[in-house]
Amino acid sequence: MPTYRVSEAETARYHEDGYLIVPGLFAAEEMDLLLKIAKADREMNREARELNRGEKRNFEKDKLIQVRDASGAQTKLWLSNDLEAGVYSAIVRSRRIVETMEKLVGDEVYHYHHKMMLKEPRVGGAWEWHQDYGYWYDNGCLFPDMASCMIAVDRATRENGCLQVIRGSHRMGRVSHGLSGSQTGADMERVNAALARMENVYVELNPGDALFFHGNTLHRSDRNESDRPRWSLICCYNARRNDPYKDSHHPRYSPLEKWDDARVLETAREQWAQLEASATR
């Protein structure tokens, strides 16, 4: 079982670049079981409801959502504000993520939401350039003291549409956002100016590798043009001091119980055994 504690040098690099890559944050068995569970989960495999342009999502009713990019290509995501029993919650609560987040954000953090991104072979659409705080801002969060941890479940490459980040773009502050397809995208005049001055980094990851990134870091991904899927789990956190001043579809502050890292594998093994047993009945 991997153990990880972020160093001072890595923390400094995160604040300079707006992101931090941690190879091997999760073990191969943890990712193998997560992928098996995700594919067996009936919530993940039910018919996706397409999100139309400008339509507001009802996260209390819809977990699996299909989103179009500017060209009309579709990508699916499964999102939850809740920490129900199972491997997703064990990962969200794991010390290797939560304590890293607290070091990077500089405060106690709580679970904002988590989502599985399902970019299927040949059909998985692009995600337009955006900042997460570009739309979390509208949820009553006064400051960009928010961050995400993206875990590669499948191998992520340029060919299957890996995430791209603009190094140092978090220092630009929040950029104006508007609709691009059925997605929320950043002002491309600003994005193009940033790309002329800063590095566009293709974040290629092996299963179990993780990317921590700031709420104001500009990021996107291309369509999946390969024959291989790219699934990833993204765990999003907000600082306690940044508790929203109003209610929204994402939660306000409540203490997050941290779990020892060993519980991820324990939970995944138990959940998969239960799924296998139910399948034979």
The domain locations on the chain are 8-279
pLDDT of residue 33: 97
pLDDT of residue 251: 96
Q: Confidence band (pLDDT; 50, 70, 90) for 53?
A: very low
Q: Confidence band (pLDDT; 50, 70, 90) for 61?
A: very low
d(CA 17, CA 182): 29
Q: What is the mean pLDDT of the chain?
A: 88
Residues contacting residue 7 through CB under 8 Å, at least 6 positions apart? none
Residue with token string 């990851």: 205
pLDDT of residue 66: 60
Long-range CB contacts (within 8 A, 24+) of 155-158 = 155/205, 155/206, 155/207, 155/228, 155/230, 156/203, 156/204, 156/205, 156/230, 156/232, 157/204, 157/226, 157/230, 158/202, 158/204, 158/222
Residue 258 near residue 148, CB atoms below 8 Å = no
Amino acid at 86: G
First to last CA, the chain: 32
What is the pLDDT averaged over residues 29-44? 85
DSSP state of 94: B
Residue 118 near residue 221, CB atoms below 8 Å = no
Segment 182-229, tens digit of pLDDT: 667 899 999 999 999 999 999 999 999 999 999 999 999 988 889 998
Amino acid at 71: S
CB-count burial class (<10 Å; 0-12, 13-18, 19+) for 101: buried
Q: Count of alpha carbons within 13 Å of 249, Cβ hemisphere only? A: 14
pLDDT of residue 50: 43
Residue with token string 């991904």: 221
Residue 45 has pLDDT above 70, yes or no: no
d(CA 161, CA 79): 20
DSSP state of 255: P
pLDDT of residue 54: 44
Residues contacting residue 262 through CB under 8 Å, at least 6 positions apart? 1
CB-count burial class (<10 Å; 0-12, 13-18, 19+) for 243: middle
Residue with token string 């190879």: 23
pLDDT of residue 59: 38
Q: List residues bridging with 200 in a β-sheet.
A: 166
Residue 146 near residue 183, CB atoms below 8 Å = no
Class of the 8-279 domain?
mainly beta
pLDDT of residue 224: 87
pLDDT of residue 212: 98
Amino acid at 126: A
Pick from 28-37, 52-61, 269-278: least confident: 52-61
pLDDT of residue 48: 43
* Higher-scoring residue by pLDDT: 226, 107: 107
Q: Confidence band (pLDDT; 50, 70, 90) for 43?
A: low
At residue 271, φ and ψ (nearest 5 deg) are: -65, -40
Q: Confidence band (pLDDT; 50, 70, 90) for 119?
A: confident
Segment 77-105, tens digit of pLDDT: 889 999 998 999 999 999 999 999 999 99
Segment 166-190, tens digit of pLDDT: 999 999 999 998 876 666 789 999 9
pLDDT of residue 2: 75
CB atoms within 10 A of CB 234: 19
